[in-house]
């Protein structure tokens, strides 16, 4: 991959990769680190892609895998982020209209968050979401249903 191709991919997909990582680890600094690692992997990747959607799916899958690796690490389990005192999302990247909703969604279970994000925000179909997450379509539908119910409860409780 050339420098120009990497630059184009970063401009086009950085927000997507960052947001998936943020949904997983719930820490902006860790999400930024993961996004940088994912694009470094893309730069050194020697395989071929069939198009931009294939690149995007590959990047999202890498971000999910790196996020899982980070959250399972011993270091991560026993440390607290500096941002714990003042948690913020990067609303300038995600967009101010979505940032409040994204903050609410991120209060849910990690597995539900990633399905909601990929299906509703990234607009992947159920089958594409299942393929990216390497789970069955039935699992995606179940997580979507549970996520909608939990999100409704959370939004209702925040209103009251």
Q: Which residues contact 83 (CB under 8 A, 6 or more apart)?
A: 27, 28, 29
26, pLDDT greater than 70:
yes
How does DSSP classify residue 121? I
Least confident of 40-49, 69-78, 121-130, 148-157: 69-78
Q: What's the rounded mean pLDDT across residues 24-44?
A: 90
What does the mean pLDDT of the chain come to? Answer: 82
- What's the pLDDT band for 137 if we cut at 50, 70, 90? very high
pLDDT of residue 48: 87
Distance (Å) of CA 117 to CA 57, 65, 71, 121? 13, 16, 18, 5
CB 21 within 8 A of CB 104: no
User: What pLDDT, on the 0 to 100 scale, is given for residue 86?
Assistant: 42
Instruction: Identify the residue with better confidence: 35 or 103.
Output: 35
pLDDT band at 33 (very low <50, low <70, confident <90, very high): very high
SS3 48: coil
Q: CB neighbours (10 Å) of residue 90?
A: 15
How far is residue 63's CA from residue 84's CA, in Å, rounded to a whole number? 22
Q: State residue 81's pLDDT score.
A: 54
Q: Is 139 within 8 Å of 118 (Cβ atoms)?
A: no
Q: What confidence category does residue 98 fall into, taking pLDDT thresholds of 50, 70 and 90? A: low
Instruction: Over range 76-105, report the average pLDDT.
Output: 54
How far apart are the C-alpha atoms of 76 and 89, rounded to whole Å? 19
Domains of the chain listed by start with CATH number: 1-91 (1.10.1740), 107-160 (1.10.10.10)
């Amino acid at each position: 991959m050339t420098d120009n191709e990497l630059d184009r991919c970063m401009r086009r997909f950085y927000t997507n990769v960052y947001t998936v990582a943020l949904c997983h680890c719930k820490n902006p600094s860790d999400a930024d680190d993961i996004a940088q690692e994912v694009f470094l992997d893309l730069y050194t990747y020697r395989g071929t892609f069939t198009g931009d959607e294939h690149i995007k799916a590959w990047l999202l899958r890498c971000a999910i895998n790196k996020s899982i690796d980070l959250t399972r690490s011993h270091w991560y389990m026993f440390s607290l982020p500096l941002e714990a005192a003042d948690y913020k999302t990067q609303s300038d990247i995600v967009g101010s209209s979505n940032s409040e909703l994204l903050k609410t969604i991120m209060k849910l279970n990690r597995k539900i968050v990633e399905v909601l994000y990929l299906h509703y925000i990234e607009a992947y179909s159920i089958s594409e979401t299942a393929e990216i997450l390497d789970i069955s379509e039935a699992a995606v539908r179940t997580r979507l249903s549970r996520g909608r119910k939990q999100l409704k409860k959370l939004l209702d409780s925040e209103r009251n």
